[in-house]
Amino acid sequence: MKEVKSPKKPLIYYYGMAMLIIFLFNMVVSPMLMKGRIVEVDYGTFMKMTDEKNIGRVQMDSAEIIFTDKEETAIYTTGIMNDPGLTERLYDAGAVFAKDIERPTSPLMSIFLSVILPMLIFIALGQYVGRKLTERAGGPNAMMFGKSNAKVYVQSTEGIHFDDVAGEDEAKESLKEIVDYLHNPKKYTDVGASMPKGLLLVGPPGTGKTMLAKAVAGEANVPFFSMSGSEFVEMFVGMGASKVRDLFKQAKEKAPCIVFIDEIDAIGKKRDGQIGGNDEREQTLNQLLTEMDGFEGNNGVIILAATNRPESLDPALTRPGRFDRRVPVELPDLAGREAILKVHAKKIRLSDDVDFHTIARMASGTSGAELANIVNEAALRAVRSDRTVVTQADLEESIEVVIAGYQKKNAIMSDSEKKVVSYHEIGHALVAAMQSHSAPVQKITIIPRTSGALGYTMQVEQGDKVLMTKQEIENKIATFTGGRAAEEIVFGEITTGASNDIEQATKLARAMITRYGMSEEFDMVAMETVTNQYLGGDTTLACSADTQKEIDRRVVELVKEQHEKARQILKDNRGKLDELASFLYEKETITGEEFMEILGKEEG
Ligand code: ADP
Ligand code: ZN
């Protein structure tokens, strides 16, 4: 690291100041400290003064007795003797047993106080001023070359433990080993096992990766260094690398400790050897690799890193000896969601009607961060309506708020638009309900949201599903097309309201063919690979142009089939469609029960 000298400011000025401080100190503070005169006496004098009842206060220390005379003219000290009746005699002499008699300062001490302390103060002051000047002179980039600004959390301030992270049991299991190792490294070294140097926490945003890393530090009771990958990437080449060096230097001094690098993909992206590639990032990455190779295993520095795009990481980072263990941190399942809700609900006052199981079921697909947000949003809603407890309704409404945005209070939706939206949403729901395998709806609202959605359908799945059958996917596609189908049948006209439906239906249809092997033509051949599993799931095609054409044709065919099916279902149930749509149109919201009730009623 490049050390920079402070500029030559009038140093004489500082020396002058130091002299002044020393002078003042000697004049004012020292006399105060020395006020009580200290007299060292032998034990005989002490006994004599006791007999003469000339003891004011007395204090017994382990090595000496400190006391004053009746008039408090001076402080005396004497050694300790084995003197059994002393306490009683002192009591009889009317002495006050004290604890606060100022310990007489030794001459050495007084030199320290009057000379060395002010000097130290001065030096610290000088350095502080010097640093300030350096900063001002050139800004951090010119002078403070590559000083790392890793935040150090000491466990007591953070205090996050595994209990605070709900669900994610598999991830915790993996990390518990690290905690155990930090507690008792000998157990591992005895067998000859060495801990992985780096662990990669992989998963979608908001699933608690940062929290888990902090919890490891919290459980192991070791310091926690945290830095985001993007903080390493600086404007000037070489600075990121020197930050890495600095971070590791600090960490090694504090070992055992946890170093956490968030968003490691910011520096760890594949080096693609492009002309004019990002030199700075590559240097930073190289430095990180060097540092990781540089320290031996078992030195107590454990590096945790988080990313949501593991596939973009440079293979050099993930090979053995570096980040060789991968800990998946997935979106929580039903039980996980319920547990996360409960953890966050500890902070709020709940009414008795709250049922977390239902909330967790309604909030399928949400991350831990979103669930935390839902709980907080519910609490805010309770406050807004002047209640002191959070109710089930608060929580239910918050799910919609977090997923679809706030209700637009003064949204402009004309009457005819409202009618179209009612039919559109009921179209989805009715198609879903008529296909035995599709999930029933929980609730539909046609209140415009700040996210731009005009209506919102909450689908409820019974528990989490891992596998989907071909039939179920097809039904899902049909459900997506149900909104548009209703518009066609009722109004003979189509709107732009189906753009999202179209996107999702297409995605599903394409995945069936290219990834799930659910078409006769292509059998079990992968035509696509997922490149971005955790952020939207982008895919790249891996087939010839001819095949692409064929795939596109098949996708269109598949969606068309399902669209036709949806239309047919709605035509067959036209009466129910009208009935349900007008109910929604009037009430603006319909629950799953109301829906099923109307659906089950005899038509008439
Ligand atoms: P990530 O690093 O994966 O993006 P964070 O660890 O920063 O996510 O999580 C963000 C917030 O979400 C946390 O502060 C916490 O309130 C909440 N959260 C996420 N996952 C969980 C979980 N499993 N248990 C409890 N709270 C969670
Ligand atoms: Zn729709």
Residue whose CB lies within 8 A of the most ligand 1 atoms, among 153, 158, 211, for a mutation test: 211
Query: Which own/partner contact pairs does 375-380 have at CB distance under 8 Å and 24+ positions apart?
Result: 375/341, 375/344, 375/345, 375/347, 375/348, 376/344, 376/348, 377/401, 377/402, 378/348, 379/348
**How many angstroms is it from 374 CA to the middle of ligand 2?**
24
**How many angstroms is it from 332 CA to the middle of ligand 1?**
11
Q: How far apart are CA 310 and CA 527, in angstroms?
A: 21
Q: How far apart are CA 124 and CA 127, in angstroms?
A: 5
The pLDDT tens digits for 341-363 are 999 999 899 999 999 998 888 88
Residue 410, pLDDT score: 63
The dotted CATH code for 334-404 is 1.10.8.60
Query: Would you give the distance in Å from CA 165 to the centre of its chain?
Result: 10
The closest residue, in CA terms, to atom 5 on ligand 1 is 208
* Domain boundaries 38-104, CATH class: alpha beta
Q: Using a 6 Å cutoff on CB, does residue 263 contact ligand 1?
A: no
Strands 57-60 and 96-97: parallel
Residue 366, pLDDT score: 86
Q: Which ligand 1 atom sits closest to the C-alpha of 214?
A: 6
Ligand nearest to the CA of 164: 1
Q: How far apart are CA 428 and CA 444, in angstroms?
A: 10
Residue 192, pLDDT score: 86
The pLDDT tens digits for 476-521 are 999 999 999 999 999 999 988 888 899 999 999 999 998 899 988 8
Residue 307: both structure tokens together: 């990313």
- Confidence class of residue 8 from pLDDT cuts 50, 70 and 90? very low
Domain ranges in the chain? 38-104, 151-328, 334-404, 415-603
Q: Which residue has the tokens 């008439």?
A: 604
Contact 143, 132 (CB under 8 A): no
- Confidence class of residue 397 from pLDDT cuts 50, 70 and 90? confident
Lowest model confidence (mean pLDDT) among 50-64, 129-143, 420-434, 470-484: 129-143
Q: Using a 6 Å cutoff on CB, does residue 211 contact ligand 1?
A: yes
Lowest model confidence (mean pLDDT) among 16-25, 326-335, 565-574: 16-25
Q: Which residue has the tokens 């518990």?
A: 176
- Confidence class of residue 14 from pLDDT cuts 50, 70 and 90? low
**Average pLDDT, stretch 162-186?**
88
Q: Mean pLDDT: which of 75-89, 104-118, 227-241 is highest?
A: 75-89
The pLDDT tens digits for 276-318 are 556 777 888 888 888 888 777 667 888 999 998 888 888 888 8
Tell me, yes or no, if the two domains 151-328 and 415-603 fold the same way: no
Active site annotation includes 3: no
CATH architecture of 415-603: Up-down Bundle (1.20)
- Mean pLDDT for all residues in the chain: 81
Q: Using a 6 Å cutoff on CB, does residue 223 contact ligand 1?
A: no
**How many angstroms is it from 371 CA to the middle of ligand 1?**
9
Query: Would you give the distance in Å from CA 526 to the centre of its chain?
Result: 36
Of the residues 263, 338, 377, 425, only one is catalytic, namely: 425
Q: Using a 6 Å cutoff on CB, does residue 368 contact ligand 1?
A: yes
CATH 3.20.20.70 for domain 151-328: no
**How many angstroms is it from 156 CA to the middle of ligand 2?**
50
Residue 152, pLDDT score: 55
* Closest of 359, 369, 367, 339 to residue 162, by C-alpha: 339
